[in-house]
Amino acid sequence: MFLFLVPLVLAAALLLWGVAIYNRLVKQRNLLEEGASGIDVQLKRRADLIPNLLETVKGYMAHEKGTLEEVTRLRTSSLEAGSKGMEAKGRAEGMLGAALGRLFAVAENYPELKADRNFADLQATLEEIEEQVQLARRYYNGTARNMNILVQSFPSNILARAFGFDTAEFFEIDAPEDREVPRVDFN
C-alpha cells in the first residue's frame, strides 16, 4: 500500500508545482498587458493634446510651418505605430518627443507665445503626461523583465514553452539624438 502512495504523492506534487508555475506565467502575462495598456493610455493623452498645442502655436509661429507639419506627421505616425509592437512604438515616440522638443525650442524665440496662458497650460500638461509615460514605461519594463525571467529560467521555461508563453519586448523610446555622443572641443 505504501509503495502505491509514494508515486501518487509525487504525481500530485508535480501537478501542483505545474499549476503554480502556469498560474505565475498567466499572472505575468496579464501584468504585462496591463503595463502596455498604461503606456497606451498616456501616449493617447499626449496625442490628443498635440492638436490643441499646435493650434495655439500656429498663430504665433506662422513662418515655422515646417516644424508644425513635422509634429503633425510624427503624431500620426506615433498613433499608427501602436499596433506594430513595442520596438516600433518606441521608435515613433522617440521621434515625436524630439520634434516636440524642437517645437518648444523654437517657441523660446516668441516671448508673447511663452506668455500666453493657454500655451503655458498645454506645456505644463504635456510635461505631466511625459512624466506619466515614463512611469508607465518603467512599470511595463519591470513586468517584461519578470516575464522574461520566468519564460527563460529553468524549470518554468518547460511549461512556458509547452503553453506558448513568449518573452516580452522592452519599451524603449528611441530618440536619435540621445544615441549620439556629444563632441567636446575646448579649442
pLDDT digits (tens, 9 = 90+) for 101-144: 888 887 777 777 777 788 888 888 888 998 998 999 999 999 99
Percent of the chain with pLDDT over 70: 91
Closest CA to 66 of 106, 111, 109: 106
CB of 144 within 8 A of CB of 62?
no
**Cα–Cα distance, 12 to 20 (Å, whole number):** 12
Q: How far from the centroid of its chain's Cα atoms is residue 22's Cα? A: 26
Q: How far from the centroid of its chain's Cα atoms is residue 25's Cα? A: 21
Q: Which domains does the chain have, with CATH numbers?
A: 30-139 (1.20.1440.20)
pLDDT at 187 over 60: no
Q: Which residues contact 120 (CB under 8 A, 6 or more apart)?
A: 114
Confidence at residue 26, expressed as pLDDT on a 0 to 100 scale: 95
Distances (CA, A) of 176 to 58, 60, 92: 26, 28, 11
Identify the band that residue 179 occupies on the pLDDT scale cut at 50, 70 and 90: very low
Query: What is the residue-averaged pLDDT of the chain?
Result: 84
**Cα–Cα distance, 171 to 15 (Å, whole number):** 35
| Section 60-76 average pLDDT | 78
Q: Which residue did the predictor score with more confidence, 177 or 112?
A: 112
Q: How far from the centroid of its chain's Cα atoms is residue 139's Cα? A: 9
Which DSSP symbol is given to 182? P
Which range (26-30, 144-148, 173-177) has the least confidence? 173-177
